[in-house]
Amino acid sequence: MPKTTPTSIEVPVDGVVHSIEEKGASPKPERVRLEYLDGVRGAASFYVMLTHLVLFINRSLFGAVKWLLPATGWMHYGRTSVSIFIVLSGYCLMLPVARSDESAMPGDFWPYLARRARRIMPPYYAALLISLALMWLFSNQIDRINTFWFTMKPVNAKVVVSHLLLIHNFSNDWIFKIDAPMWSVATEWQIYFLFPLVLLPVYRVSTGGMLGAALVIGVVPMFLFHTGETAAPWFVLLFGLGMVGAAINFTNGEKWHRLKDGINWSVGCIAAIACVFVWHIIAAPRLHLNWKGELIEDVITGLATMSLLVACTNNLHTNRRSAVVRCLESKPLLFLGSISYSLYLMHAPILGSLDVAIRALGLSDGVSAFLYVAGGAAAAVGVTYLFYLAFERPFTARKKWTVLA
């Protein structure tokens, strides 16, 4: 009987490649790379930036760009990307648990939380301070012109403190102030506490029970207290779907193998995406369900994302990678994936500054529209990369091959 040797699974988590050492039966080391995860993250982050770029253009130029609006209808669903981020987070944090025989998280709670804080906090606080500085610098222009940035005011002590504590998603008066996209960072940070304290213990007893607990935590308070809809507490359920996706791909056992091999996850992903389009185009405009509609949309998006991740990971074990995986592993998307968190944090203040600068020039609406379209995305990505080098990469630069925990 040949001697077993360790195999490793290399997993990019928030732009950093890690590896999980495990016992395997292969006589030679085998490495399965999940680079496509960064591609998904990069595409989603870039799409959020496009969504807000369109909002800036529409608010600043009004009817002057009516000719442009038919081509931008597909850019109005930035919330979809946020749902994708949450599923990805659940998938990545679940990977070492899925590979563990005890279904346990490597390490203790406080070191885990410290790792999450090190990853999330430095870029977050840097972006927060930069946003506050820019709003102060451009305060006169923001008040004078009808810019989209104006919607992120007023800023008072409660708003600032709530952002510092990452609880600004608790109130509609705080949630979209200073840097609007930051609302989901607070929601995800709070889910990080639930992962080891609630979701994993219940998962070890029952996967369905874990999803049920996530549903209760995320949805029942909405019915009881009719509050918190802007914070989307049901994202806990989407995080749970990501956990299930990782378990399907990497947990041993007959049940998981049946799920992995017995379902055509590519078809499932396509079907779920079709449901998202049907929901947006036909159902949602007619039903007016408020937060319940957002819940349905987010859950369908979560199922589509989970199916995509399972299908792409399964494809890595075949002789030829699918066109989808090759696209997600392309250099442009991997680059965007490496800076995706910084891009998510910084694109709004960058676009806000560009908006003020263009309006201050007093150009015609046509020229202004051209500058928004031609320069908005390039400015957001270019400045974000500098921000990434200064405030994110120093906190993610580790040995390339480390244990994912």
- By three-state DSSP, how is residue 88 classified? helix
Q: What is the DSSP pairing of strand 31-33 with strand 16-23?
A: unpaired
Average pLDDT over the chain, rounded to whole?
82
- Do residues 365 and 65 make contact, with C-beta atoms less than 8 angstroms apart? yes
> Tokens 């995320």 map to which residue?
218
As a whole number of angstroms, the distance between CA 276 and CA 184 comes to 21
What would the pLDDT profile of 3-26 be if each residue is shown by its tens digit? Answer: 444 334 454 444 344 444 444 443
Please give the share of the chain, as a percent, with pLDDT higher than 70. Answer: 82
CA geometry: angle 121, 188, 311, nearest 5 deg: 115
pLDDT digits (tens, 9 = 90+) for 168-210: 998 888 998 999 999 999 999 999 999 999 999 999 999 999 9
Question: Residue 62 pLDDT > 70, yes or no?
Answer: no
What mean pLDDT is predicted for residues 343-358?
91
Q: Once rounded to an integer, what is the mean pLDDT over residues 108-119?
A: 92
For the record, the structure tokens of 81 come out as 């990307």
Tokens, residue 252: 């041993």
pTM (2 d.p.):
0.87
